[in-house]
Copies of this chain bind each other. A is one copy, B any other.
């Protein structure tokens, strides 16, 4: 398989602007053109572009510059692709780069964006994960090992000018409702750290001012952080510009539903092997707005779960109306309290929910006023029996290990 895009994890992203970009904009030139049916490899740097080290200090997590992240490899053009088509992408394989068989998970500081449970875990923390073939384990979290579901956190086609304008408009309107909020309600365009790929000069400067940030998922896919886009899956992406312009990055070795600790997956550099084809006019034919996908026949089979319920009453007893966000947060907090009884710190339990292949289900969404969400914790990731029994939990987790902290 031909490697269409090569990266160098020892160089800065800025030095590799010929194949990388960190904003969404229709004017970014294609890095390469392929024919429908082509199979090719794309290498990607990790989402922070090398800001995080394999060490025992969380200073780097604390200090990450979040305007300089999500460096995407691409865009790759597909011959014949036109707006309104569906670009069919077979994710044939996802893998680790040589000499880079490790990943990291970060709990971001409240001041730096925080995470799903940042009210409970406001400090920067880090865990480093070693890869052992299909498995991973961390020196910062004992008694846990699991099979990864490697996937790109971020993948999608370039937006059209119209779609980009719509994104910028609606997100600016949201920010305007509370412009001083920390963290902000949305990440608006920010030209200073924009890397616009092969676009240069005035065109680049103009595009940098309006290029959409890569943080959220949007109609084109983007930063969906869906663990199920793993090797063997097939995705149907809407096409908005001639050539489609497929870009990708933010590869994860493993992640739970929700990527709940924000930098919540096990983040890594890696590669994707892809095959592309087209369904001409597929957007209208199938009534597609957001990407549609099919799962892999090769996903890890964890069949035994301990499942935690959460309802839309927050931890202070406040009642919300059918709010699945609050419900899922409660299910996560319930799972964390449970794991603590076996000897994990709260932060370790939180990191497990982010990194392990937990499932998050929307279980009840109509029974006013409480939405019900469930967090599915696979019991097989622990090297001890974590099920309840009549005798109560024993402190089975090896003591004396903790997440990396700041100094």
Contacts and interface: CB of A to CB of B under 8 A. Distances in A.
B368 A216 contact: yes
Interface in A296-311: 296-311
Contacts of A328: 324, 362, 365
A191 to B, nearest CB: 19
B86 A388 contact: yes
A264 B288 CA distance: 25
Contacts of A392: 279, 281-282, 285-286
Interface in A225-260: 225-228, 231-232, 236, 257-260
Contacts of A218: 311, 313, 370
B301 A258 contact: no
Contacts of A331: 290
A262 interface: yes
A171 interface: yes
Contacts of A185: 321, 368-369
A365 B92 contact: no
Contacts of A303: 295, 297, 301-304
A91 B135 CA distance: 10
A288 B299 CA distance: 31
Nearest to A223: B367
B170 A313 contact: yes
B225 A363 contact: yes
A311 B286 contact: no
A217, A227, A321, A361 — which one has the most chain B CB atoms within 10 A of its CB? A217
Contacts of A296: 134, 147
Interface of A: 1, 39, 86, 88, 90-93, 101, 113, 115-116, 132-135, 147, 166, 170-171, 173-174, 183-187, 215-219, 221, 223-228, 231-232, 236, 257-262, 264, 273, 275, 277-282, 285-311, 313, 317-325, 328, 330-331, 334, 337-338, 340-341, 359-374, 376, 380, 385, 387-390, 392-393
Given A174-B369, A293-B307, A295-B305, 19 more contacts: A115-B366, A132-B275, A133-B273, A135-B232, A147-B297, A185-B321, A217-B367, A218-B311, A218-B313, A226-B363, A262-B366, A278-B390, A279-B392, A287-B340, A290-B334, A292-B338, A297-B301, A304-B380, A324-B325
23 contacts: A1-B101, A92-B132, A92-B135, A134-B296, A135-B232, A173-B319, A216-B368, A217-B364, A218-B313, A225-B366, A225-B367, A226-B309, A227-B363, A228-B374, A257-B361, A259-B367, A287-B337, A292-B309, A294-B306, A295-B305, A324-B325, A325-B371, A360-B363
